[in-house]
Amino acid sequence: MNNFMKKYIVTFCLMFLCSLSFANFSVTPTVINVSGVPGSSYENAYVVTSKFETPMTFTVTLSNGNCFSENEGVDVNDWLKIEKTEFTLNPGETIKVPYEVTINEKMKGSLCGRVKFSVDQSSTVNLSISVPIYVIVEGTENINFEIESLDFAKNPADGKLYYRMIVKNTGNIHIRHSGKIHIYDSKKTKEIKSIDIEETVPTFCESSKQFVGEMCDLDDGTYVAVFTIEDLGKQATKEVKFEVEKDRAGIVKSFWEKLKAKWKEFIKNFHS
C-alpha cells in the first residue's frame, strides 16, 4: 500500500473515532480565540450537552498548550478560570460552564491552553473532548512567517499531483494562513491555473508545520508556481520552477528544490 493511500485510511479512521467520542456528549464552542491588552479580561461559557442514557458525572481539567517561549513560567491556571470543574448531567440535559480569561502583564505574544471535558464510564472507557483556547496579547505581537520549502510529487495510486509546503513561523503568535497558488508556463508569460489554499490548522509560534494539498492536472512540461500565503495583514511568497514528466514513475522534478536528489529522503519523511 502506498504512502498516500495510508494517509487517506488513517484520516478516515481518525474521523470515525472522533465521531464516536462526540456521540455521547457535545461541547461548544470547539475552539476559542481571545485577543486583548494586558489587564483586560473576557468572560463566556461552554455549553455541554449529555446524550448518555443514564446520569453521568463530568470533570473539567486544564493543561498548557503551545505558547511563546517568553511566557515560560506562565501557567494556564494563571490566566484561565473555570467555574465548574465537576458536574452531573441527566440524559439530554445541557449545562453552561462559565470561564474567564484574564490577560496579565507577564503575558506576551500568544498562549494556548486546553480545556478537557471527561466522563468516566467505569466499566467501559473514559471519553473526553479537549477544546483549545488561544490568547493573543495585543501590543506585543510579532508577526513573521515564511514558506520554508516546497516539494512536489505525483501519487501513483490516483495519478494526481500534490505539493508539500513547509511554513515556518518565527513570530510570537500562531497563524492560520490562507492563500493562492498561481501556475504559469515556463517563461511566466501565461497563467495556466490558480488554486486556493484554504485555511486549516494553525502554525504555532517558533515552529514549522507541513501542509499537503492537491495541485491541478498538468501536461508534460516545465512550469512556474508562485505560492502566496497570508494572515494578520502579512504575506509570504515563494516561487518554484518544476517539470512534470508523467512517463517517469510520476516523479515531478523541482529544479530549485533539487527534489530528485532528495526524493528518497522526502518519501521517508513525508508522513513523519
Out of 137, 169, 189, pick the residue that ends a domain.
137
On whether both 149 and 254 belong to a single domain, the answer is: yes
Q: Are residues 128 and 152 in the same domain?
A: no
Per-residue model confidence (pLDDT) at position 127? 87
Which of 93, 110, 137 represents a domain boundary (last residue)?
137
- Tell whether 149 and 123 lie within a shared domain: no
Please provide the size of the chain in residues: 272
In order of 18, 240, 243, 250, the CA distances from 247 in angstroms are: 40, 22, 12, 7
Number of structural domains in the chain: 2
Q: Which domain holds residue 168?
A: 142-269
Residues 132 and 150 in one domain: no
* Contact by Cβ (8 Å): 177, 167: yes
Q: Averaged in consecutive runs of 10 residues, what is the pLDDT profile of the chain (272 residues)?
A: 38 35 82 96 96 93 96 96 95 97 97 94 75 97 97 82 95 97 96 95 96 90 96 96 67 46 56 48
> What pLDDT does residue 6 have?
38
Q: For residues 249 and 164, state if they share a domain.
A: yes
pTM attached to this predicted model: 0.76
Shared-domain flag, residues 263 and 191:
yes
Same domain, residue pair 150 and 128:
no
- Written as nine digits, the cell of 210 is 507541513
What is d(CA 233, CA 238) in angstroms, rounded to the nearest whole number?
A: 17
* Strands laid side by side in the 86-89 sheet: 32-36, 126-137, 110-120, 56-64, 86-89
Enumerate residues 6+ apart whose C-beta is below 8 A from 8. none
Do residues 39 and 85 share a domain? yes
CA terminus-to-terminus distance, the chain: 17
Whether residue 72 sits in one domain with residue 43: yes
| C-alpha distance from residue 172 to each of 39, 113, 144, 192 (Å) | 19, 16, 8, 37
Which domain-ending residue is among 86, 109, 137?
137
Residue 244: the pLDDT is 86
CATH number of the structural domain spanning residue 169: 2.60.40.10
Strand, helix or coil for residue 132: strand
Residue 24 and residue 50 in contact, taking contact as beta carbons nearer than 8 Å:
yes
Same domain (yes/no): 201, 89: no
Same structural domain for residues 132 and 153? no
